[in-house]
């Protein structure tokens, strides 16, 4: 359940990923886009994050699973999940070009890929492949904050 950490604001997101439902691309993720569906900035300018110093968020989930988090389309941080809420910070102080950010917060992770003509599973990235073994990965993201 999404029992929220003390003082959390905004939305709590529950993410459940069943690796057996992979479409074969070898990864899964979610982008928080601005404006909605603004892939590659096609729908106009994104957020101006020039004065942002960091992004903080809290995560808990399947212990030892590795999920990559990204902020401002520039900084990727792999995080090993724990079953307790843990706060993380992605530092943006050295990032430039943040005056038009359309993907302000992202998570992604590798999934096993099943070869089309066989039942053979190929790990796409053994360091971040959290879904091996066919178990559903569940984790929670809360209190996403852009710090100015």
The per-residue pLDDT for 134 is 61
Contact 85/6 with Cβ under 8 angstroms? no
Name the residue with higher pLDDT: 20 or 143. Answer: 143
Q: What is the pLDDT confidence band of residue 142, given thresholds at 50, 70 and 90?
A: very high
The per-residue pLDDT for 132 is 46
Whether the per-residue pLDDT at 144 is higher than 90: the answer is yes
Q: Which residues contact 3 (CB under 8 A, 6 or more apart)?
A: none
Q: What average pLDDT is seen over the chain?
A: 80
The per-residue pLDDT for 97 is 76
The per-residue pLDDT for 74 is 75
21 phi and psi angles, rounded to 5 deg: -100, 15
The per-residue pLDDT for 25 is 72
Angle (CA) 137-142-145 rounded to 5° is 135
Whether the per-residue pLDDT at 95 is higher than 90: the answer is no
103 phi and psi angles, rounded to 5 deg: -120, 80
CB atoms within 10 A of CB 50: 14
Contact 56/88 with Cβ under 8 angstroms? yes
Angle (CA) 8-12-13 rounded to 5° is 150
Q: Is the peptide bond before 86 cis (omega within 30 degrees of 0)?
A: no
Rounded distance, CA 45 to CA 34, Å? 8
Q: Name the burial class of residue 131, with classes exposed (0-12), middle (13-18) and buried (19+) by CB atoms within 10 angstroms of its CB.
A: buried
User: What confidence tens digit (pLDDT) does each residue in 31-73 have?
Assistant: 888 888 888 777 778 888 888 899 999 999 987 888 999 988 7
């Amino acid at each position: 359940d999404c029992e929220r950490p003390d003082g959390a604001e905004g939305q709590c997101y529950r993410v459940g990923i069943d690796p057996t439902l992979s479409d074969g691309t070898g990864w899964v993720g979610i982008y928080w886009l601005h404006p909605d569906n603004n892939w590659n900035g096609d729908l106009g300018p994104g957020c101006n994050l020039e004065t942002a110093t960091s992004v903080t968020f809290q995560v808990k989930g399947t212990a030892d699973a590795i999920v990559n988090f990204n902020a401002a389309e520039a900084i990727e941080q792999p995080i090993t999940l724990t079953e307790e809420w843990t706060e993380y910070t992605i530092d943006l102080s050295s990032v430039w070009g943040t005056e038009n950010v359309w993907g302000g917060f992202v998570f992604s992770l590798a999934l096993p890929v099943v070869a089309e003509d066989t039942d053979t599973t190929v790990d796409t990235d053994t360091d971040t492949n959290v879904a091996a073994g066919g178990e559903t990965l569940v984790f929670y993201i809360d209190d996403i904050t852009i710090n100015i």
